[in-house]
Amino acid sequence: MPRILVDDFSKFVTALASSSPHGWHVVATNDGPPTDIITWHNEYGVCPSHPHYVVFFCEKPPPSGEETPGTSSLAVYDRLKKECPELLEQSAKKVYTYKFHHTAVQTRGLVGGNGVFSPTAFGPVDESLPVEQQRKFTGGLDITHRVTGIRMHPTRNVPSYFNAMANRWAYANKYNTWEPPYTASKEDGTEQTFWPPMFSGMEEDKVIPKEWMDKAGEIQNEFVSTVAWEAGNVMVIDNFAVQHARLPWEGHRTVLASFWDEPGLRGVPMNW
């Protein structure tokens, strides 16, 4: 596509959609450190609600790096059915557990949910209130999502390996946190919990066997197609068919995103 500006991108995705968008605003993509690798995931795969289409727009590419790889959720499912059917069966029957810790200290951006604790998270700060009546956060907040890892593609009616469990697998490997208490020291010396991939249980959650996740990661990496960004590029992703990731980069870059749905289409959980 020819080079376009942010306003042009907003008009483009509005015209592209056959329905109303989630919101008229275009948002920045994950603003975590550029050295961080974000591995395979379907957008909002950790939540019960997620967009059908993800549209990325490159306003400013970095001098070096920042490629966006994609892999087929449908092809990954088909291969896992042949090479690791146990993972698919248990994923459909038990669903996945995603645990998140929201700290009480606000950090840059909203990565990890820290925005819950921003001064304006519950509306404008009312300076007229006495200090003892103003909302204060003194501790953290733990949240657990329990969602399926396999959904039916809403138009093709075929199963899709739909989740964000590869990130848990990657960090559990990096910090060797496959065993309790699942904590490790980061490069800066701070202690942090890195939850491994888990199935949901009635009494307690169970760690997914590492060899199953290793096989899934191996297959995901076999179907990679990578896009190197140039200014003005637009990429439209079928979120139910494609998982995407993020590679590190150097320098400044701006990649924006817009999320869209289509009426009546949803990826229902697969029944095994």
Domains and CATH numbers, the chain: 6-111+137-260 (3.60.130.10)
* pLDDT of the residue at 4: 57
**pLDDT tens by residue, the chain, 272 residues:** 445 566 676 666 666 554 444 445 566 776 678 888 889 999 999 988 899 999 998 989 988 877 899 999 999 999 999 999 999 999 999 999 998 877 766 655 544 555 556 666 656 767 776 655 665 666 677 789 999 999 999 999 999 999 999 999 999 999 999 999 999 998 888 888 899 999 998 889 999 999 999 999 999 999 999 999 999 899 999 999 999 999 888 898 888 898 888 888 889 999 77
What single-letter DSSP state applies at residue 45?
Answer: T
Q: Residues in the chain, how many?
A: 272
In this structure, which amino acid lies at residue 227? V
Confirm if 12 and 53 have CB atoms less than 8 A apart: no
Residue 229 DSSP symbol: -
Q: Could you tell me the pTM of the whole model?
A: 0.82
Token pair belonging to 2: 């020819």
The pLDDT, as a whole number, for residue 260 is 85
Strand, helix or coil for residue 225: strand
Distance (Å) of CA 77 to CA 44, 83, 165, 222, 223: 18, 10, 14, 13, 12
Written as six digits, the tokens of 164 are 């964000």
In 3D space, the residue among 34, 14, 243 whose CA is nearest the CA of residue 6 turns out to be 14
The CA distance from 93 to 76, in Å, is 18
Cβ-contact 260, 22 below 8 angstroms:
yes
